[in-house]
Amino acid sequence: MKPVCIIQNCALESAGHLADYLKEKSIPYNVVRNHDGETLPDVADLEAAVVLGTPISVLGYQQHDYLKRLFAFMAAAARRDLPLLSICGGGQLLARVLGADVVKSPVREIGLYTVTLTDEAVKDRLFGGLPGEIEVFQWHADAFQIPFGATLLATGETCRNQAFRKGNAVAVLFHIEPRADEVPLWCDEYVAELEEEGLTKQAIVTAYNMKENQMRQLSYGLMQNFLG
């Protein structure tokens, strides 16, 4: 089996639960630290790829060499129809690769939110076995439009477009990767965003800790379906 490649685009935002799942299932994988200039692989050498988020707004990705390299990698993956799961900023960059716009989110979503699966998602293999509404962890200020020919898979009340698929490429706006011990680090690093939204580290961390097992199960379930 070829390896699964996880592309990390920020030192703080690790593969978390996703790496845990791959280890537990003995699925070969590697992590490429794109933000550190590590070489992205040839898509032909991969079983699948997972693209993690970045605190850099995708609206200005052309100003950052590592994001331009990632754009080219994702374009090659889309042409090959490689199974590609793109998370938050990664999902926004996938939208750009597929010709859709990325815009400022109507609401900066931080913390736990409920998203609703569309009728199409109920039949989609990524969300197979999940209930019609799922609680997810959010941390984003931008949002993607749905590319032409793609299928909307999940919606939210404050930010409508939450997930889409085109071929084997899937984007989710929410995060499925952070472990409970990583969320406080995000709060410390992005404290200015919490303050702007009137939120506190304690509230975010406490809420996440209460749902840690649920968040891990969601992560594992989506990875199992994605690689299924």
Angle ∠(151,218,26) on CA atoms, nearest 5: 105
Would the pLDDT of 219 be above 90? yes
Predicted confidence at residue 110, as pLDDT, reads 98
Q: What backbone phi and psi angles, to 5 degrees, belong to 204?
A: -65, -45
Query: In the chain, pLDDT over 70 holds for what percent of residues?
Result: 100
- The string of pLDDT tens digits covering residues 119-138 is 999 999 999 999 999 999 99
Predicted confidence at residue 180, as pLDDT, reads 97
For the chain, the straight-line distance linking the first and the last C-alpha, in angstroms and rounded, comes to: 13
Would the pLDDT of 1 be above 90? no
Going through 25-132 in order, the beta strands assigned E by DSSP cover 29-33, 48-51, 84-87, 102-117
- The string of pLDDT tens digits covering residues 44-84 is 999 999 999 999 999 999 999 999 999 999 999 999 999 99
Dist CA 37 CA 54 (whole Å): 14
Dist CA 220 CA 213 (whole Å): 10
> Do 117 and 133 meet the contact criterion of CB atoms below 8 Å apart?
yes
Does the domain spanning 4-227 belong to CATH 3.40.50.880? Answer: yes
- The string of pLDDT tens digits covering residues 162-195 is 999 999 999 999 999 999 999 999 999 999 999 9
Beta-strand relationship, 84-87 and 169-172: parallel
- Report which secondary-structure segment, H or E, holds 67: helix 65-80
